[in-house]
Amino acid sequence: MSKAASRVPGGGAAKDEAICPVCKSSRYLNPNMRFLVNPECYHKMCESCVDRIFSHGPAPCPIAGCKRTLRKAKFRTQTFEDLKVEREVDIRRRVARVLNKTEADFETLRDYNDYLETVEEITWNLILKIDVEATEKRLRLYEEAQKAERNITARPYQPDPSLPSEKAQVVLKKGASQRKAVATSAANTPDSRANPQDGEVEKGFNFHGLKKYVPPAPEKPLDPFDGWAIEPQFYVVQDDYDVEWLTQTKNDPVATAGGYDMRDFYSRALCDAFSGFGVFVEDEIEARAKGLSGDANTGTRSAATAALGGKDVNMDDVF
Amino acid sequence: MKLTEDDIYRTSTQYQHWTFTAAQLAAQRLQTNIQASERVRAAVARQRAPRSLKAENASASETERGESGANTPVLAVDREVNCLTVGEEKKLVDTFCKRALDLGDFLKLPIEVTATGVQYMRRFYLLNSPMTYDPQTISRSVIFIASKAEGHHLSVERYASSLPKTTPADILAPEYLITQALRFNYEVRHPFRGLKGGHLELMALAQGKPALLPTATQSAQELQTAMLALPRKPDGPATSMTVAELEKRITDAYGLASHILKTAALLTDAYFLYTPSHIWLSAHLLADEPLTLFYLSTKLPLSSPMHDKLLSTLRACSTLLSSHPISSHPLQTTASAEQQKKEKEEIGALLKKLRQCRDPDKIDLVKLNQAQKRDVTVRVEENGGEGLEESKAKRRKVARERAEREADEFWGPSLKRKDEEGSGGNLEKNGG
Amino acid sequence: MASSPLVLSPQPPPSAPSSKFPPSNISKAKALALQHASTAPASPTGTPTPPADTDLDAGAQMNEQVRRQYVITKQIGRGTYADVFSAHLASDPQQLVAIKRIRLQTGWTNGITMDSIREIRFLSELKHPNIILLHAVYSTKDQKISLVLEHLPLGDLEEVWHKHHLPYGNADIKSWMLMLCRAVWFCHSHRVLHRDIKSNNCLIAADGCLKLADFGLARPFADPGRPMTHQVITRYYRPPELLYMARHYGPKVDVWSVGMIMAELAIRNFLCPGETDLQQLAMYCDLFGTPTEETWPGVSKLELYMPPSTQKGMDGTTVATRRGQPASFWKQRFSLLGDEGIELMRGMLTMDPNKRLSSEEVLRHRYWQVAPRPTRKEDLPRRPGSREDGEKRLGEDLKRVAGEREEVEGGRADKVARKLDFGALRR
């Protein structure tokens, strides 16, 4: 992708892109050169610079004026030629992960549209770097709240590293263990000053018309039969019956070797014997005919004619 | 979904589409009879009208003839067609069911094949009248369809050659008629295997080693003792049999019941009115009442409300079964000669009457069938005739090719041919 | 009589109605005549029969009624045995069905084919969520039988492992297998042998549900002593007893086929693609060991059984009794299934049908209970393309009730604010 993007002839940009701003080597000399960006600051540099500078651990961005700490693992090729777009997409992706409601989650269409508007507002705040800190906090709080509600373990929300925040600056100077501690405390302690609005203090957001979350019922133990069962009422099958007319088959080695099992026959014969034992045609068919036509007079008409109404070829008819 | 053996029967097409109350059955037959008579009269009138008109006034114009032909009121036909009554129709169908049964015996077909065929026949004549479709032809076709449905392969040539004056076309012509009337319900649930199941249980009871229901109140031992003392006849004195004697009695009862199932049960309306379970129990009741009642008592306590209901159903069913001449003298295979003769005369008269009131449109089923097939290839259909699209496409292609050929002769061959047909779409797995 | 243009009149009435008497008059006159003729209480005055079909007999009328309920939209498949069409209910275009039209077989002169009769017979009786639903059957005017079946747009199980490079895991295999095993258990509990279970007879519905299809070779369990044909089940899935030409067999034949499908899903290939019946047997012997009287009592009585000394191995050399592959082979090749899965699969792929698991025992196996839990059918991997609009939409359409759909089409999409979805964008 980056190759394709860098090959685009585009006036001055093309010239810039051909030269690494760090080592100044150009694509002319090294046609295989790849550029990478880090979503911390979106400064572009070539792959060999990344290898050289960041292979031994986090280091500050070599671009003049940018003092952000970058890690090699975060470098990637850019998807969009325009880094602004690249950043916007990243932000949108992050926001969408937290604010992931769908239309079905809302009572009304209007509520859903209000929600979408809020999401868009939040997104643009981040993109345009307006109220970044407060917004990030709200998102973080919201994610926490959602997580607590659903009791799931998801990836914690990560604040946009490309945006200035005093904590990030502080963290930079501390050791790894301290950094972790700060990060967790920041994530866990809700800041009561951040949002004076009602209801948003703890949850970050409060969307109107959101349906109450119903936690999925705990999964029942799996029923391999899916609730189906054949439960005979009037007979119990035995393993063997001593009847003269069956002895020949029973003792036929060819039949047994092929897998013919007399027990299958026994259970079938007994099932047939009582299949319909408790079905009384006069009662049941009468009831069925009445239910079918609704009209007492036509109730006596044959079921076949009644079926012309299409009852039994109905799509919804399961049985 | 928990299914009991009863639910399994309730899901069957036999129960859903082919089980009726007696009143429904009678109403259906009446309706079929009325419609068929109607059609016969109309068809006969249509055939007679031009003839009589011609005789009266040979110079009648085309229009007039058309009018009177189409508009002849049924009641105005000079000689009223004497149509069969519902009872006569049923008698005829019963007769040909019996013949189908004999045919099955003659060809040594397994009983399920014949029995299924006979039921197809009875189902067919619920919606159709013997006046419309000849029962002889239908009876031969149903056996053939049944042999396919029951997986007993029979080649149509061999089958037709074993019948007098029958060609394969005669057998196949009404196939679609029958299969439509059956609503494509090929499954017939017979009571034969059920009877075997009951027999297995009775033998186990007699041998003192039955598997008892959890609700059973008596032990196997007690049951065996009670069974050995069962009276021979209802309300007869108690007996004391040996186990071997009891087993013989059970086997005899089985034989008798089996005979009833293979004859009377098939030749009456039992399949429409009762479940297979009730049918075999009723046959067994006829064969050995004390034994059957005893068996029922092991299944249902006498105090159960279902017991009475079941018993009255079984009694009604056994009355129906024994109403058929075959089973009224179950041991006596041949009815008295006098009776036979009377029966024969009656049937002969009916057949004669049938010949007078056949629907003239439907006499030659083979021709009818061919006409239908032919009809389809020339008829242009607006809806649902996708099958026709193919033949249309074919005709179009032929016409185009001819046009092209003619053009080629005149102009010389074209340089490049257009693609003949669009691709037929990708193959679907269902096709396999 | 000739009131409807749709009516198939075997021979046109000698006197066609003139323009003075439009068709409707005739049918009215006829209806009147009918009323006169039938004074019985059961006369159909209350429910008038459709006037158009008076010329057809009752069976044909019902057939017409069924036929008119469906509108065919396009052909989606063409095979030697049947053509498949996509169709919908005339009353509701959202309700899709598939119509399988049985082709007339060249060389078959015995009328309606046994396959179609069998398929209709068993599908009408077996109604289960994992068995393809037969909505209706009708015959067309050119006397072809059409089966109106559930619309299953997502291909079959063979495509899942074969055609597309779909990633899937043990939980997915478990889910598919469980649905298949339920279907087979249901057939067997209704005493029906399927006799043609293979992965391309396992179709997948829009919601991911697996449905067992193609009952053209099905039959009921045989009664004692009645022989059956051994020429059933596609060779790759045919159990050894059928290859030995056993004529008395039972539901275990289907279980073997199910085991084969499980193996296939695990290795993404046919386990035993034999080119001849003998080669198929040789492959079984290689994998599972040559059956002997000790391992399979009575096997030597089967028609085609050959004692090991005369048997040829796959390389053509005469071999002594093969012992089959060791446990390590199975463990290594089928590691995807886990230990319980391998145990179940080998239980289904046991040479001796009497020792093979029954379909009920299969469902009671602990494989289903151990982790991972089977994937929910909605979350199963689907063939590529289906994730995108077309088929996915179709799936949602099927789930939706009719009323709701109308609303969507009534321009509701305009009312939803545009939502940009970048989540789907890959890095």
pLDDT tens digits, one per residue of A296-305: 333 333 333 3
Q: Which fold has domain A3-78?
A: Herpes Virus-1 (3.30.40)
| Residue A180, number of CB atoms within 10 A of its CB | 12
Give the CATH number of domain C157-399; options: 1.10.510.10, 3.20.20.70, 3.40.50.300, 1.10.1060.10. 1.10.510.10
Tell me if B11 and C112 make a contact (CB, 8 A cut-off): no
Q: Which residues of B touch A234 (CB under 8 A)?
A: 5, 213, 299
Contact assessment for residue C259 and residue C357, using Cβ atoms and an 8 Å cutoff: no
Catalytic position from the list C55, C156, C196, C214: C196
Q: In a mutagenesis test of the C interface, which of B183, B361, B428 is the best target, namely the one with the most C β-carbons within 10 Å?
A: B428
Instruction: Please tell me if residue C125 touches chain B, with a CB cutoff of 8 Å.
Output: yes
Tens of pLDDT along chain B (432 residues) come to 788 999 999 999 999 999 999 999 999 999 999 988 888 888 888 877 766 655 555 544 444 444 444 444 444 444 667 888 999 999 999 999 999 999 999 999 999 999 999 999 999 999 999 998 999 999 999 999 999 999 887 889 999 998 888 889 889 989 988 999 999 999 999 999 999 999 999 999 999 988 888 888 888 999 999 999 999 888 888 888 899 999 999 999 999 999 999 999 999 999 999 999 999 999 999 999 999 999 999 998 888 888 999 999 999 999 999 888 765 454 454 556 677 788 888 888 888 888 888 877 777 777 777 777 666 655 434 444 444 455 556 666 666 667 666 666 655 555 544 444 444 334 343 433
Mark yes or no for CB contact B428/C76 under 8 Å: yes
Of B44, B364, B35, the closest CA to residue C13 belongs to B44
- Candidates B408, B399, B404; CA nearest to B418 is B404
Least Cα distance to C151 among C427, C399, C352 occurs for C399
Please check whether the domain covering C26-150 is classified as CATH 3.30.200.20: yes
Alpha-carbon gap: A220 to the closest alpha carbon of chain B (Å): 17
What pLDDT was estimated at residue C53? 44
CATH class assigned to B22-62+85-181: mainly alpha
- Among A61-65, A308-312, B427-431, C174-178, the range of highest mean pLDDT: C174-178
**Pairing label, strands B2-3, A229-230:** parallel
Asked if the C-beta of A89 comes within 8 angstroms of chain C's C-beta atoms, the answer is: yes
- Rounded Cα–Cα distance for residues B270 and A111 (Å): 65
Two domains, one topology: C26-150 and C157-399? no
Average pLDDT, integer, range A69-76: 88
C100 annotated as belonging to a binding site for a ligand = yes
Taking the C-alpha atoms of residue B269 and residue C209, their distance in angstroms, rounded to an integer, is 42
Q: In angstroms, rounded to a whole number, what is the distance separating the alpha carbons of residues C262 and C5?
A: 54
SS3 C131: strand
Judge whether residue C19 has pLDDT over 60.
Answer: no
Which A residues in the span 216-245 are in contact with C, Cβ-Cβ below 8 Å?
219, 221-222, 224-226, 228, 230
DSSP A186-203: HHHS--TTT--STTHHHH
> What SS3 class is residue A230?
strand
pLDDT tens-place string over residues C68-102:
999 998 888 787 788 889 999 999 888 899 999 98
Residue A309, helix vs strand vs coil:
coil
Q: How far is CA B408 from the centre of its chain?
A: 59
> Closest partner residue to A224 among C95, C178, C241, by Cβ?
C178
Q: How confident is the model at residue A136 (pLDDT cuts 50, 70, 90)?
A: confident
* C331 pLDDT higher than 90: yes
Per DSSP, A172 falls in state H
**What are the boundaries of each domain within chain C?**
26-150, 157-399
Q: Known catalytic residue: C92?
A: no
Give the pLDDT of residue B41.
86
How far apart CA B170 and CA B137 sit, in angstroms, is 7
pLDDT tens by residue, A80-107: 888 888 889 988 988 888 888 888 888 8
Domain ranges of chain B: 22-62+85-181, 192-322
Distance (Å, rounded) from C-alpha B48 to C-alpha A96?
84
Segment C277-291, tens digit of pLDDT:
989 998 999 899 888
Do C133 and C150 contact (CB within 8 A), yes or no? yes
b/e C116-128 (16+ beta carbons within 10 angstroms → b)? bbbbbbbbbbbbb
Burial of B11 (0-12, 13-18, 19+ CB in 10 A): middle
Residues 38-97 of B with CB under 8 A from A: none
Name every chain B residue with its beta carbon within 8 A of the beta carbon of C8.
372, 375
Q: Rounded distance, CA C304 to CA C310, Å? A: 12
Q: Which run of H or of E encompasses C74?
A: strand C70-78
Domain ranges of chain A: 3-78, 85-198
Q: d(Cα C192, Cα A87) in Å, to the nearest integer?
A: 62
CA torsion angle for C22, C27, C32, C36 (degrees, to 10)?
Answer: 130
- Phi/psi at C166 (nearest 5 deg)? -80, 125
Map residue C119 onto helix, strand or coil: helix
- Using the beta-carbon criterion (under 8 Å), do A272 and B189 form an inter-chain contact? yes
Q: How far is C155 from chain B (nearest CA, A)?
A: 8
Residue of chain C whose Cα is closest to the Cα of B30: C42
Q: B142 and B46 in contact (C-beta within 8 Å)?
A: no
Amino acid letter at B16?
Q
Q: Does A234 touch chain B (CB under 8 A)?
A: yes
Query: How high is the pLDDT of residue A215?
Result: 72
Q: How far apart are CA C93 and CA C394, in angstroms?
A: 12
Chain B interface test: which of A241, A300, A305, A308 (most B C-beta within 10 Å):
A241
Cis check: omega of the bond before B168, within 30 degrees of 0: no
> Touching check for C86 and chain B: CB below 8 Å?
no
Q: Is the sign of the CA dihedral B272, B277, B282, B287 positive or negative? A: positive
Structure-token pair, residue C40: 């019985």
Q: Is B194 on the interface with A (CB under 8 A)?
A: yes
Helix axes A281-293 and B22-56, enclosed angle (nearest 10): 60
